[in-house]
Structure 1
Amino acid sequence: MCSPAMCCSPKRELQQDPADCSGKHDASEQGISFRSYMNGGMSSLVCTVITFPVYKTVFRQQLHSMLIREAVVQLYKEGLLKLYRGVVPPLLMKTLQGTILFGLQNTLLQQLSPWAESYVPRATHPALAGLGTGVVESLFFTPFERVQSILQNSSNDRSLPTISKIVGRMRSETLVNGWYRAFLPTLTRNALGSSLYFGLKDPLSRVLREQDCPPIASSFVSGMISSMMISMPLYPLSVLVANMQAQVGGDNLGVRASWNQLWQKRQRSLVLLYRGGSLVILRSCISWGITTAIYDQLTKHSD
């Protein structure tokens, strides 16, 4: 693939006019944008099945305020088949999420850079594009996360045992009480998380490469460090979202009321609120380290 500078170099002016060169430039950018969607989906798919048991353990801790040992014992007693109950929504969601996350961020970055350069430093453009991506991601994926949370709440096993039952129930609810329950904290978490991730990962990777770290290792470590710096501050939002989305029916409390209820349930203790936080860090480090490394390698070899 030729660079824009090579495409529009003076040596080529005798062979093609500027309009042809501009057309090739646009086609090149479109190709890069399309590949970012494909690479993002593939890199996210790899991590989903591997990390799902860890995710489900964390979810049980968030929902029932269990110790790691108690959550693992509960899942062990339920058996292997139930361990992967609810894997289909995150498998679909994470693949689509990676596709949109990386692809849309790349598209927004291309559209944003020409006019934003006059107002904000170029180094902040990836973070700004990530912020917009997080907003779109929340609009698109909140219903998937809602179904996943209902499936993984064991108290719903009898009344809502399958996805089709859940979909039928959601259709009978309003959007706010059904598909988009806990939308505001989800939007806040996703927008901030995406912005921080895209703002941090490339600078961290460059610093590591300057220290003679191999490219794939620098990508993996930058993904790990980025996820670690994001997960802990935003963890209380994830706990709030999990508790709000796992419930079906009843009063749809607002964000403040739901937070107060959760805070009382955790006995006004940060230690209890952050129960499961260690596994969140582990899961995020592994999944985003792998995802970042695979995405960067796919992007490198497709150039």
Structure 2
Amino acid sequence: MSATEHKPKPLPFVANFAAGAIAGISEILTFYPLDVVKTRIQLEKGKTQGLVGTFTSIVKQEGVGRLYRGLVPPLLLEAPKRAVKFAANDYWGKTFLDLAGEKKMTQNLSVVTGAAAGATESFVVVPFELVKIRLQDKNSVYKGPMDVVRQTVAKEGLLGLYAGMESTFWRHVYWNAGYFGTIYSVKAVLPKANTQNEQLMNNFVSGAIGGFAGTVVNTPFDVVKSRIQGTQKVPGVVPKYNWTYPAIMTIAREEGVAALYKGFVPKVLRLAPGGGVLLLVVEFTLGVFQEG
């Protein structure tokens, strides 16, 4: 749903952009190690060690610092990524309301709005996601983010930084549709907030449930995205994981349907409460702008 729907007056694009940026940085600093564990599990072929085993293995074999490997790209990304997410959701929400001739957001419009926001967001995140995935890989030999960029461009050309664009597009479309669509539904059934603390709690609860729903829907697409971006292209060789839906079928056939949900536990442990933190911080920040 539109992040500003219940506000007495509309806020400018820059307010939604800033609120999303602040929320994104807050979320990534809190939950990043879970993202590293998730990526490691998704890149493993066959049986994995699971959440605890992978986490413990990383700490024992590579040190605690490895849990923050690749933090710089997503940290640089989170501000524009989350800012675009909420600003685009606000923009598309207003646009679809006008097109549909509606005055208030509906369930169907909230899902379509979220999907459009996710599609918009996907174009921003791809190069950052690719750098992050390649740094998080257990077998990574890169010295840092810029080394990934240099080697990728040298071997695959500038467009190599956009490997996985199609899978990233679907990942964000489905997550945002599930996230914002669920937020609309949950907020509709929660008790009306009479105080600011109750409002903040409602935002956290609806955002957390939305984060869970989005994760359930988009995890197979995230697994495929990690596989595509984690594999360097070899000239003249067609990548095993290339396009999203054929790759989903390949993984299901070779590793079983359950493999499409590899990394689900650390992913949902991050994005359920993370989704709550995002909405809470966004709404709180917009409230500050509203009063300013």
- Note whether the superposition's TM-score is higher than 0.5: yes
Question: Is 1:59 paired with 2:43?
Answer: no
Q: Deviations over 1:50-81 (max 9, x none)?
A: 10111111111111233223211221121122
Choose the corresponding residue for 1:216, options 200, 205, 216. 200
Question: Is 1:105 paired with 2:92?
Answer: no
Question: Is 1:194 paired with 2:173?
Answer: no
Given that 1:220 and 1:292 are in contact with CA atoms closer than 8 Å, whether structure 2 keeps it comes out as: yes
Distance across 2 between alignment mates of 1:258 and 1:125: 30
Counterpart code for 1:210: K
Distance across 1 between alignment mates of 2:49 and 2:175: 26
The 1:262–1:115 alpha-carbon spacing in structure 2 relative to 1, beyond 3 Å, is closer
Question: Is 1:140 paired with 2:120?
Answer: no
| RMSD (Å), alpha carbons | 2.5
Uncovered stretches (5+) of structure 1, i.e. residues with no partner: 1-27
Greater Cα shift, 237-246 or 178-187? 178-187
Choose the corresponding residue for 2:13, options 33, 36, 40. 33
Distance across 2 between alignment mates of 1:259 and 1:233: 13
What is the number of residues matched between the two proteins?
270
Task: Determine helix, strand or coil for the equivalent of 2:191.
Answer: helix
Uncovered stretches (5+) of structure 2, i.e. residues with no partner: 1-8
Given that 2:251 and 2:257 are in contact with CA atoms closer than 8 Å, whether structure 1 keeps it comes out as: no
Q: Deviations over 1:253-291 (max 9, x none)?
A: 43255334433552x252x44233222221111111111
Given that 2:190 and 2:202 are in contact with CA atoms closer than 8 Å, whether structure 1 keeps it comes out as: yes
The aligned residue for residue 162 of structure 2 is 180
The aligned residue for residue 226 of structure 1 is 210
Task: Determine helix, strand or coil for the equivalent of 1:109.
Answer: helix
Question: Is 1:239 paired with 2:223?
Answer: yes
Question: Is 1:84 paired with 2:64?
Answer: no
Counterpart code for 2:268: I
TM-score (norm 1): 0.80
Distance across 1 between alignment mates of 2:174 and 2:101: 21
Distance across 1 between alignment mates of 2:263 and 2:93: 35
Choose the corresponding residue for 1:68, options 51, 64, 83. 51
Given that 1:105 and 1:129 are in contact with CA atoms closer than 8 Å, whether structure 2 keeps it comes out as: yes
Distance across 2 between alignment mates of 1:202 and 1:300: 19
The 1:94–1:265 alpha-carbon spacing in structure 2 relative to 1, beyond 3 Å, is farther
- Tell me the CA shift for residue 301 of structure 1: 3.1
Given that 1:109 and 1:125 are in contact with CA atoms closer than 8 Å, whether structure 2 keeps it comes out as: yes
1:163-174 equivalent positions in 2, closer than 5 A: 163-172=145-154, 173-174=156-157
Given that 1:138 and 1:187 are in contact with CA atoms closer than 8 Å, whether structure 2 keeps it comes out as: yes
Question: Is 1:293 paired with 2:280?
Answer: yes
The 1:220–1:84 alpha-carbon spacing in structure 2 relative to 1, beyond 3 Å, is same
The alignment-based identity, stated in percent, is 20
Q: Deviations over 1:92-148 (max 9, x none)?
A: 112211111111221232333223327x98414343332222112111211110111
- Tell me the CA shift for residue 224 of structure 1: 0.9
TM-score (norm 2): 0.83
- Tell me the CA shift for residue 42 of structure 1: 0.5
The aligned residue for residue 26 of structure 2 is 46
Distance across 2 between alignment mates of 1:97 and 1:152: 19
- Tell me the CA shift for residue 38 of structure 1: 0.8
